[in-house]
């Protein structure tokens, strides 16, 4: 028995683990390594058997006590080799945990949690609607058109032809569920599934309504006004409760989810509740200061630029951003990056004035000539100053 791994190590639990922790650990391993989930994988099968053996011991109070005292030696000789590694599984009841696991494997309901023919909410419907940047910021009402199912006027939603009625399903006896049993190495597994004949309703319609073909509903095209709150963002959905697919067995209708698709803006970009944009500033305004016009979602505003403003300066317009979905009075800010523009075309007079300005502010136009003059030589063979390559 020396080559066997410790049972607690196999399940990945501490020796102080309670029954719930041991069961949860085993269920996780059983789902991962079960042969039905890993067909042909011998290693997975071995791990499954190892975990099952560990669970069989640690889930039984008396066997766990013996194991804690004597280790694997407590089970040497087993009981006729009926289990893995000489351990007998014949007395173990795996129906509870494997009823849960096999329900997951085979798509069926579970014996303790099957829905049967009880009321079930209908499916949700999804659609989308496009809106402008400003509409998303301040809120808007949009119209959507959907195909929805309404109760058939002919059969009043029963699905049966007028003058007839639905009959109790003979396969499930009106319960909406059927029970399948499966023999396994751990005993009989009980698996509960929706009845394939009636689809879980418990009723069979033999004479179907000609207008709805037995469904009880007819499809109609309907228009709805959808109100989006101020501050809605791209990809967010507005829920319209009770307008989705009809429920079954008396269950409520599903919902309609309308996604907001916000068109990009040529000037503004949004990040959460803040808005960002760039604004060109003339060289004169940047140098001397002055008022400029900045476009915001609230309209144009006048902003005073400080003298000596450099390009890429960012200014903040407080409260000019996007309203909060929770409180429209709480708005973000608008951040504006000022870009100093260099004029591309100048008149002769403008050029002359710019030269005069340059002469008064450092004479940068003649800086290179002054450098040459200060580092030159009267000898013809003297070397000229090297020009440094910038790129």
Domain boundary among 212, 233, 262: 262
Question: What is the distance between the alpha carbons of residues 159 and 138, in angstroms, rounded to a whole number?
Answer: 46
Domain boundary among 341, 358, 381: 341
Asked if 208 and 328 sit in the same domain, the reply is no
Tell me, yes or no, whether 199 and 225 share the same domain: yes
The CATH number linked to 70 is: 1.10.287.110
Neighbours of 208 (CB within 10 A): 17
Burial state string for 86-96 with b = 16 or more CB within 10 A and e = fewer than 16:
bbebeebebbe
Exposure letters 152-175 (e unless 16+ CB within 10 A, then b): bebbebbbbbeeeebeebeebebb
Q: Does residue 299 share a domain with residue 199? A: no
Q: How far apart are CA 87 and CA 79, in angstroms?
A: 6
Q: Is residue 105 part of a domain?
A: no
For position 79, what pLDDT does the model report?
38
Identify whether the C-beta of residue 258 lies closer than 8 Å to the C-beta of residue 223.
no
What are the backbone angles phi and psi of residue 221, rounded to the nearest 5°? Answer: -95, 120
* 313 part of a folded domain: yes
CATH code of residue 326? 2.60.260.20
Residues 257, 314 within the same domain? no
What's the domain range around 292? Answer: 269-341
Residues 131 and 250 in one domain: yes
Q: Pairing mode, if any, of strands 256-262 and 125-131?
A: parallel
Domain boundary among the residues 262, 281, 304 is at: 262
Indicate whether 153 and 168 sit together in one domain. Answer: yes
Residues 228 and 292 in one domain: no
DSSP code of 6? P
Bridge partners (DSSP) of residue 292 are: 303
Count how many domains the chain has. Answer: 3
Residue 257 and residue 291 share a domain: no
Q: How many residues in the chain?
A: 391
Give the model's pLDDT for residue 353.
Answer: 87
Residues 230 and 247 in one domain: yes
Do 46 and 130 belong together in one domain?
no
Query: Are 249 and 315 contained in the same domain?
Result: no
Rounded Cα distance, 242 and 335, in Å: 41
Residues 6+ apart with CB under 8 A from 65: none
Question: Phi, psi (5° rounding) for residue 65?
Answer: -60, -45
Whether 112 maps to a domain, the answer reads no
The low-confidence residues of the chain, meaning pLDDT below 50, are 1, 78-91, 95, 99, 102-115, 378, 381-382, 391
Residue 97 lies in a domain: no
Q: How far, in Å, CA of 351 to CA of 356, rounded?
A: 9
Give burial (CB, 10 Å; 0-12/13-18/19+) of 25. Answer: buried
Whether 132 and 77 map to the same domain: the answer is no
Please report the pLDDT score of residue 114 as a whole number: 44
What's the pTM? Answer: 0.55
CATH of the domain at 143: 2.10.230.10
Please answer whether residues 70 and 34 qualify as being in contact, where contact means their C-beta atoms are separated by less than 8 angstroms.
no
Residue 116 is assigned to a structural domain of this protein: no
pLDDT at 204: 83
Examine residue 106 and state whether it is found in any structural domain, yes or no: no
Q: For residue 361, is it within any domain? A: no
Residue 15 lies in a domain: yes
């Amino acid at each position: 028995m020396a080559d066997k791994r410790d049972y607690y190590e196999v399940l990945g639990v501490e020796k102080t683990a309670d029954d719930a922790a041991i069961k949860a650990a085993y269920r996780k391993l059983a789902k991962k390594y079960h042969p039905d989930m890993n067909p042909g994988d011998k290693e997975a099968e071995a791990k499954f058997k190892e975990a099952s053996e560990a669970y069989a011991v640690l889930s039984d109070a008396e066997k766990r006590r013996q194991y804690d005292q004597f280790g694997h030696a407590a089970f040497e000789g087993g009981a006729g080799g009926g289990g893995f590694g000489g351990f007998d599984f014949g007395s173990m009841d795996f129906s509870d945990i494997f009823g849960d696991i096999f329900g997951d494997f085979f798509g069926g309901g579970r014996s303790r949690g099957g829905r049967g023919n009880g009321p079930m909410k209908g499916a949700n419907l999804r659609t989308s609607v496009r809106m402008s940047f400003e509409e998303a910021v301040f809120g808007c009402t949009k119209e959507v058109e959907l195909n929805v199912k309404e109760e058939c006027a002919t059969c009043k939603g029963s699905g049966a032809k007028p003058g007839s009625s639905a009959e109790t399903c003979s396969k499930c006896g009106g319960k909406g569920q059927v029970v399948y049993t499966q023999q396994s190495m751990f005993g009989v597994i009980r698996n509960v599934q929706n009845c394939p004949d009636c689809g879980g309703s418990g009723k069979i319609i033999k004479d179907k309504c000609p207008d709805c073909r037995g469904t009880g509903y007819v499809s109609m095209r309907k228009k709805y006004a959808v109100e989006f709150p101020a501050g809605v963002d791209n990809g967010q959905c507005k829920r319209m409760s009770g307008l989705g697919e009809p429920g079954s067995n008396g269950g409520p209708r599903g919902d309609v989810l309308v996604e907001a698709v916000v068109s990009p803006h040529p000037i503004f970009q949004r990040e959460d509740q803040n808005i960002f944009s760039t604004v060109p500033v003339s060289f004169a305004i940047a140098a001397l200061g002055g008022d400029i016009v900045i476009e915001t979602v609230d309209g144009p505003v006048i902003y005073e630029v400080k003298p000596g403003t450099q390009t890429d300066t960012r200014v903040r317009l407080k409260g000019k951003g996007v309203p909060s979905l929770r409180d429209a009075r709480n708005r973000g800010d608008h951040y504006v990056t000022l870009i100093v523009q260099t004029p591309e075309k100048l008149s002769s007079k403008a050029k002359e004035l710019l030269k005069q300005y340059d002469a008064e502010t450092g004479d940068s136009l003649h800086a290179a000539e002054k450098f040459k003059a200060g580092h030159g030589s009267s000898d013809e063979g003297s070397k000229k100053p090297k020009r440094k390559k910038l790129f």
